[in-house]
Amino acid sequence: MLIPHPLLGPRDSAEFTYLGDASLIARPDGMSDGADEAFYDYLYLRDNPAGIHRELWFHEQGDRSWLVVTRNTLTHEILGAELARDVAMAQRNTPEAKA
Amino acid sequence: MSQKNRLSGGLIDRSQSLSFTFDGRKYTGHPGDTLASALLANGVRLMGRSFKYHRPRGPLCAGSEEPNALVELRDDARQEPNTRATTAELFDGLSANSQNRWPSLAFDALGINDKFSSFLSAGFYYKTFMWPAAFWEKLYEPMIRRAAGLGSLSMEADPDAYDRGSLYADLLIIGAGPAGLAAALTAGRAGARVILADEDFHMGGRLNAETFPLDDAPAQDWIAATLAELKSLPNVRLMTRTTVLGAFDHGVYGALERVADHLPQPKAHQPRQILWRIQTKRALLCAGATERSIGFENNDRPGIMLAGALRAYANRWAATPAQRVAIFTNNDDGHRGAVDLIAKGVQVTAVIDPRPDAPRIADCELLAGAQVINTQGRLGLSFAELRLSDGSMRIMECGAIGVSGGWNPNVHLTCHQGAKPVWNDEIAAFVPAANTPPGLSIAGAAAGVLSTHGALRTGAEAAAQALEDLGMCASPAPTPTAEDAPIRLSPFWYVAEGKGRAWLDQQNDVTVKDVKLAHQEGFRSVEHLKRYTTLGMATDQGKTANMGGLAVMAEMTGKSIPETGPTMFRPPYTPVAMAAWAGRSRDADFRPTRRSPSHDWAAEQGAVFVEVGQWLRAQWFPQPGEDHWRASVDREVLAVRAGVGVCDVTTLGKIDVQGADAATFLNRIYCNGFAKLAVGKTRYGLMLREDGMAMDDGTAARLAEDHFVVTTTTANAVAVFRHMEFARQCLWPELDVQLISTTEAWAQYAVAGPNSRALLERIVDEGVDISNEAFPFMACGEITICGGLRARLFRISFSGELAYEIAVPTRYGDALMRRLMELGQDLGVTPYGTEALGVLRIEKGHAAGNELNGQTTAANLGLGRMVSSKKDSIGAVLSRREGLSLPDDKRLIGLKPVDAANPLLAGSHLFDQGTEAVAANDQGWVTSVAYSPHMGSSIALAFLKRGDARLGEVIRVVNPLGGSDIEAEIVSPHFIDPEGDRLRA
Amino acid sequence: MPDLTLAPRSALGGTEPRIDQIGGITLTERPDIALASLAARRGKAPALDKAIAPLLGAALPDISASSGAGDIRAFWTGPDQWILRAPYGSHEDLAAQVKSAVGNAGSVTEQSDAWAGFSLMGDDLTGVLELLARVDPASLRDGTALRSQIHHIGCFLICESALSELLIFGPRSSAASLHHALISAIRSAESLRPAPSQS
């Protein structure tokens, strides 16, 4: 499998380590009220779609970037890859996150 | 023996003779021969015995799809079983042996199986070896293993090297027949990076086996001119003896190049095979088609082969299995084979064609509407029994029959990503579906285009289209004029007359009768049919067999063949040796070895090494007179406690953490606080996973306001770095923090024991004060030693003694170890290994990998109070959940045997006295044990329910595997210096 | 006070760098290169570029590239991350030099001994590269810097001169395994080179 690294172009999946659902980026605030419920959701309740899935890959044998890769789990077609850092920053800057 | 069945012409070099042996007998052949063609030329038809019934067999094919002619090639360590004689290139001195027979190929004792065939039908193993169960391991399995398995292994290590490599292309062309060559010309001339791979050693594909002219000249002229042009193009790579074995995701293909299989042995440093990973923008499958047989009674005698193979042996290899041959075909192509054979001087007794309107093409007897209903002959074909169109029977003497039931496009690679081929009525075969792997197109016979002209044209056009997709300008290369006859066939799968011992799968001995039995017993889906009968399994994966089986099943179920459906094709296309998959990763090179800076020195000391992940670490340093490892380890432990010891701890992970927010970052990574750690100080830190379980522990030393060095355990160094990068990039990208591993940059040694300060004082430069006042417990700093060399000093202790860790740039590590040993002699300096390190930490009650096993919490480890509730850190929230803070939760405790002579065993479970040692009464388990020279007995660390409240109690320590059941006292895990006075001395 | 000076060893354990000559290819151990990693502090990439310019004589290199005008050169290792290299003899304190130049605009870490360096030189290294790493030789330009695996060992590959000189840095503790992998690949590639045609 080739991962289309946003900086380096297609790189072999053997250079990467897989983590899982990209929703892991949205970590709840541990000091907020109801944090235990939020963490339960965050850590254990994931979708397992047969189809389009956004997931985290680490370019461990490359530039050490964490990527958010959008992959069709049925066909392995890869629809895109972004730097996870950019995705995380964008999520923080949504009005919802600021509120 | 003379080459009595050698014909004229052919692509062999008669100027040279090669001698070879088969089952010990000497023969000769020529360069260009395969083992099978040379044996046929020498009058040998019998080449093997079948898998189940041990029936005599000869080659069915002339290529890699061969099910029968499997031999053990070469001798001694290079002996390789199940090698196809039809693809093994002849070399001088080649030695081959038949397999799956005893005592000889001509007389095989297990041929008796054939007489009992009615008991050995489909599902035989499943039905017969069911009971009694106790018989399985002792009787049935050894018996089956002896009888089955075809060839045997030499049981010696393979002396040859295998490589793996990577290639890149714009267009990978798979197969160098007319379609592939025309495609390569088109793409090569357009300047694209082209790889043309063919499994054969002579490119040309089916052109080599036929005699049709191209542009009114022999096809070999066009092949030679084409290859010469392609060779002259620097952008084209021609790969013969290279099988593309799989189509993987995103344009990655696997290919096996047999670099030296055609040589007696590889040349010096030459790999025998290379497994290539080919990354290509587009691929073009020009893999041709495989002929299929027709089922009829006793259609497996040596001499009966596919018509196309008979034709290939005659045209390309100038060999024939017999001088009198017959053709049995349901299509026009079989007739054209007869034409070629007649031209070579072979007597074709008749062309037998079940089609009543069969055309007359060859200049020999035509038996239209006739069928072969049985054959005779002992170790090879002697007579064919025919049923003629008028219903009469005829016996025909012949030594070979060329059988053709039509051609199946080689669609395999198009299915490797899940596509199912679709049925084409015109050629009565499956052709590639539209949803083939992205970027892969198909041309020639593989696409169902079965004429030479069609192959040339579609090859050139498909290549031009592929390049156009890539934005390159290409026009199809002009192709020579070539035959363009339709194949014209009437589907005909098997002869109904007879008992049904008509072979469909010759490799697995599956007959028409077996498929009918599978149907009768309910195994009707093709995937069930395959597993029940073994149809299509083993080395040939049913390339010549599957269609026949499908057709019979379709007929039984009353469904069409496409409704019955093909089984799934998976890589590899042909078998690949394990050694090729392994490449260089075998034996000592199975994985890289990591050596610590003191490795060479330790080896000089006679250290015993242990593998810790990829690292080699000194386990202990035996001294003269120490005949047991415990003697060495006890000595090293006592030397640390009494004097000073040095241990190489470079293997611990070291991560440089810098940035304005470095402290904030570590505060979130570790469950305990780091924000207020002073510069020049080190702190123990515990990392939790987000689920609240302990992940790793170590220390973080603050070298500056914005600079920490974090250590991890050896085993978790990579995982912790990954975890920290995840936190940095994904969780808190707004923090100013940068990470880099420095594990390898520094040689780091633990210097431990009451004399450690005295030893270090001898190497630190003038003005560096390491007194207890200036450099107290948990201090750290950048200093210079040995005359200006930069070093880092940490006052941390794993052993519980006054101890330091000192680090220098790795290139100086070897010299520093030697210097410490030289300068510390009078202080009792002693190198110690990982075993003593373990004893010291167990005596001190420090958790390590055995305790941090992913199932333990901070509270279990007795570190519950470290988890700060005043801040957010990874794992803190879920560590507080109800299930992880139950009142009878386990706690880390120490154990010491009531009778000091009793050893404690790791893995033992704990039970209250007077209770039965069953799971329901389990109170906990022993994680780490050691013999403590300090305590004079075995000691252990263990997790025990409410352990911290039970100090002083006596508990049962039971190990049913070790046969041990002893009593031990529950004690503090800190066996030594529980107040920590030694650390602070 | 006695002379306590410590003598360095190369990554392969020698007092002199190891040199292997196989066919037309030379493999040389390179302990003579000092390395320091440089990462931009958050939001300070422009300031860092400016601060490093006097030392580097160039801007910090872009993705997968190298830059540098004099003794000190840099190659890209990741987003906002680089490694600087210089002759060890004159720049053993490279990390300190860089840190004093960049101040709080960048994080600097000494990396000289984290890596075992090897120079691979020959007329055409394509064949060796094919057996070593998943790198397209045609993608290499002078100065291309990549991180990839060589026989399971994570390495930096820096193209000094496309297809004729490669600088390879692998983890120092794996130096012996890496050297073995390089030698095996060179021997293999040399054996596969077509014999010069006889005319």
In a domain, C133, yes or no: yes
Q: How confident is the model at residue B119 (pLDDT cuts 50, 70, 90)?
A: low
* Sheet with B94-98, edge to edge strand ranges: B25-29, B18-22, B94-98, B70-73, B80-84
**For residue B22, what pLDDT is reported?**
97
CA atoms of B116 and B806, how far apart (whole Å): 78
**Torsion (CA) B514, B519, B521, B523 in degrees, nearest 10:** 100
Is the Cβ pair A29, B872 closer than 8 Å?
Answer: yes
What tens digit of pLDDT does each residue of B186-196 get? 999 999 999 99
Report DSSP letters for C110-171, one per residue: E-GGGEEEEEEE-S--HHHHHHH-S--GGG--TT-EEEEEETTEEEEEEEEETTTEEEEEEE
Average pLDDT over residues A43-54: 95
- From residue A33, alpha-carbon distances to A39, B692, B869, B879, C89 in Å are 11, 18, 13, 16, 59
Average pLDDT over residues B770-799: 97
Which of A70-74, A92-96, B316-320, B572-576 is predicted least confidently? A92-96
What tens digit of pLDDT does each residue of B611-651 get? 999 999 999 999 999 999 999 999 999 999 999 999 999 99
Judge if C130 and C89 occupy the same domain: no
**For residue C199, what pLDDT is reported?**
43
Which of B91-105, B635-649, B949-963, C65-79 is predicted least confidently? B91-105
Mutation target vs C (from A7, A13, A17, A92; most C CBs, 10 A cutoff): A7
Residue A2 Cα, gap to closest chain B Cα (Å): 6
Mutation target vs C (from B160, B259, B269; most C CBs, 10 A cutoff): B269
CA atoms of B594 and B651, how far apart (whole Å): 9
Q: How far is CA B463 from the centre of its chain?
A: 33
Residue C81 Cα, gap to closest chain A Cα (Å): 9
CA atoms of B336 and A85, how far apart (whole Å): 67
Among residues B771, B757, B750, B742, the alpha carbon closest in space to that of B817 is found at B750
In a domain, C56, yes or no: yes
Mutation target vs C (from A59, A63, A92; most C CBs, 10 A cutoff): A63
Is the Cβ pair A88, B438 closer than 8 Å?
Answer: no
In a domain, C196, yes or no: no
In a domain, C69, yes or no: yes
CA-based nearest residue in chain A for residue C134 = A12
What tens digit of pLDDT does each residue of A6-38 get? 999 999 999 999 999 999 999 999 999 999 999
Question: Which of these three, C112, C131, C160, is where a domain ends?
Answer: C112
Q: Which of B690, B725, B726 sits opposite A43 (nearest CB)?
A: B690
CA atoms of C169 and A30, how far apart (whole Å): 41
Yes or no: say if C61 and C76 are a contact pair by the CB < 8 Å rule.
Answer: yes
Q: Which of B252, B730, B881 sits opposite A66 (nearest CB)?
A: B730
- H or E, element range at A43: helix A35-44
Which DSSP symbol is given to A52? E
The arrangement of secondary structure in B644-840, i.e. its CATH architecture, is: 2-Layer Sandwich (3.30)
3-state secondary structure B69-100: CEEEECCHHHCEEEEECCCCECCCCEEEEECC
Is the Cβ pair C39, B658 closer than 8 Å?
Answer: yes
Length, in residues, of chain A: 99
What range does the domain containing C102 cover? 33-112
Judge if C51 and C94 occupy the same domain: yes
Judge if C37 and C103 occupy the same domain: yes
CA atoms of B510 and B504, how far apart (whole Å): 6
CA atoms of C144 and C63, how far apart (whole Å): 9
**First CA to last CA distance, chain A:** 40
Tokens of B883: 């299930």
Judge if C127 and C93 occupy the same domain: no
Which of 3.50.50.60, 3.30.420.40, 3.30.565.10, 3.40.50.300 is the CATH number of B162-289+409-469?
3.50.50.60
Beta bridge partners of C4: none
CA atoms within 13 A on the CB side of C8: 17
Counting one residue from A and one from C, how many pairs have CB atoms under 8 Å apart? Answer: 28
Yes or no: say if B700 and B709 are a contact pair by the CB < 8 Å rule.
Answer: yes
Which letter, b or e, does each residue of C103-134 get, where b requires 16 or more Cβ atoms within 10 Å of its Cβ? eebbbbbbbbbbbbbbbbbbeebebbbbbbbb
Judge if C23 and C38 occupy the same domain: no
Yes or no: say if C179 and C15 are a contact pair by the CB < 8 Å rule.
Answer: no
Is the Cβ pair C176, B743 closer than 8 Å?
Answer: no
Is the Cβ pair C79, A63 closer than 8 Å?
Answer: yes
Which letter, b or e, does each residue of A14-27 get, where b requires 16 or more Cβ atoms within 10 Å of its Cβ? ebbeebeebebbeb
In a domain, C11, yes or no: no
What are the backbone dihedrals phi and psi of residue C114, each rounded to the nearest 5 degrees, phi first?
-75, -20
**For residue B500, what pLDDT is reported?**
83
Question: Which of these three, C69, C92, C112, is where a domain ends?
Answer: C112
Q: CATH code at A51?
A: 3.30.2270.10
Mutation target vs B (from A12, A45, A57, A65; most B CBs, 10 A cutoff): A12
Beta bridge partners of B296: none
What tens digit of pLDDT does each residue of B129-138 get? 666 667 767 7
CA atoms of B651 and B266, how far apart (whole Å): 40
Q: Which of B594, B706, B811 sits opposite C113 (nearest CB)?
A: B811
In a domain, C7, yes or no: no
Interface contact B469, partner A, CB < 8 A: no
Residues 211-270 of B with CB under 8 A from A: 248-252
Chains that touch C (3 or more CB pairs under 8 A): A, B
Q: How many helices, marked H, and strands, marked E, lie in chain B? A: 23, 48
Using an 8 Å CB-CB cutoff, list residues of chain C that contact chain A.
Answer: 63-64, 77-79, 81, 134, 147-149, 154
What are the backbone dihedrals phi and psi of residue B106, each rounded to the nearest 5 degrees, phi first?
-75, -35
Is the Cβ pair C114, B810 closer than 8 Å?
Answer: yes
Percent of chain B's residues with pLDDT above 90: 90
Residues 11-70 of A with CB under 8 A from B: 12, 17, 19, 24-25, 27-31, 35-36, 39-40, 42-43, 56, 58, 60, 64-66
CA-based nearest residue in chain A for residue C82 = A63
3-state secondary structure B325-342: EEEEECEHHHHHHHHHHH
pLDDT beyond 90 at B162: yes
Domain with CATH 3.50.50.60 in chain B: 162-289+409-469
Fold for domain B886-985?
Elongation Factor Tu (Ef-tu); domain 3 (2.40.30)
Q: Which of A14, A61, A83 sits opposite C79 (nearest CB)?
A: A83
**For residue A97, what pLDDT is reported?**
52
Chains that touch A (3 or more CB pairs under 8 A): B, C
In a domain, C127, yes or no: yes
CA atoms of B298 and B743, how far apart (whole Å): 70
CA atoms of B679 and B702, how far apart (whole Å): 5
What range does the domain containing A53 cover? 2-98
Residue A27 Cα, gap to closest chain B Cα (Å): 7
What tens digit of pLDDT does each residue of B292-337 get? 999 999 999 999 999 999 999 999 999 999 999 999 999 999 999 9
B971: left (phi over 0), alpha (psi -120 to 50) or beta: beta
CA-based nearest residue in chain A for residue C170 = A61
Question: Which of these three, C51, C84, C112, is where a domain ends?
Answer: C112
Residue A12 Cα, gap to closest chain C Cα (Å): 8
- Average confidence score pLDDT of chain B: 95
**For residue B954, what pLDDT is reported?**
98
Tokens of B841: 């930490």
Residues 689-708 of B with CB under 8 A from A: 690-691
In order along its 199 residues, chain C shows pLDDT tens digits of: 679 999 999 999 999 999 999 999 999 999 999 999 999 999 999 999 999 999 999 999 999 999 999 999 999 999 999 999 999 999 999 999 999 999 999 999 999 999 999 999 999 999 999 999 999 999 999 999 999 999 999 999 999 999 999 999 999 999 999 999 999 999 999 999 877 654 4
CB contact set of B436 (below 8 Å; sequence gap of 6+): B414, B417, B419, B442
Is the Cβ pair C184, B809 closer than 8 Å?
Answer: no
Which DSSP symbol is given to C194? P
Q: CATH code at C69?
A: 3.30.70.1520
- Taking contacts as CB-CB distances below 8 angstroms, the residues of chain A near B724 are none
Question: Which of B93-102, B526-535, B687-696: highest mean pLDDT?
Answer: B687-696
Residue C63 Cα, gap to closest chain A Cα (Å): 7
In a domain, C198, yes or no: no
**For residue C196, what pLDDT is reported?**
62
Cis ω for the linkage preceding B476 (within 30 of 0): no
Total number of domains constituting chain C = 2
**For residue B567, what pLDDT is reported?**
79
Average pLDDT over residues B863-889: 93
CA-based nearest residue in chain C for residue B614 = C174
Judge if C80 and C60 occupy the same domain: yes
Interface contact B735, partner A, CB < 8 A: no
CA atoms of B878 and B565, how far apart (whole Å): 52
For domain B18-115, the question of CATH label 3.10.20.440 is answered with yes
Q: Considering the entire predicted model, what is its pTM?
A: 0.95
Which DSSP symbol is given to B141? H
Among residues C37, A37, C130, A56, the alpha carbon closest in space to that of B882 is found at A37
CA atoms of B299 and B437, how far apart (whole Å): 37
Please report where in the chains the tokens 């002759």 appear, as a residue: C87
Give the ipTM of the model, two decimals please. 0.97
Judge if C72 and C38 occupy the same domain: yes
Q: Which of B718, B729, B872 sits opposite A88 (nearest CB)?
A: B729
CA-based nearest residue in chain B for residue A33 = B877
CA atoms of B632 and B636, how far apart (whole Å): 6
CA atoms of B590 and B570, how far apart (whole Å): 27
Is the Cβ pair A14, C79 closer than 8 Å?
Answer: no
CA atoms of B324 and B308, how far apart (whole Å): 16
Beta strands in B773-914 (DSSP E): 780-785, 789-794, 803-809, 829-831, 890-897, 909-911
**For residue A99, what pLDDT is reported?**
43
pLDDT beyond 50 at B829: yes
Please report where in the chains the tokens 């895990």 appear, as a residue: B973
CA atoms of B596 and B591, how far apart (whole Å): 16
Interface contact A98, partner B, CB < 8 A: no
- From residue B847, alpha-carbon distances to B109, B163, B856, B912 in Å are 64, 43, 11, 24
3-state secondary structure of B759: helix
Q: Which of B690, B734, B880 sits opposite A92 (nearest CB)?
A: B734
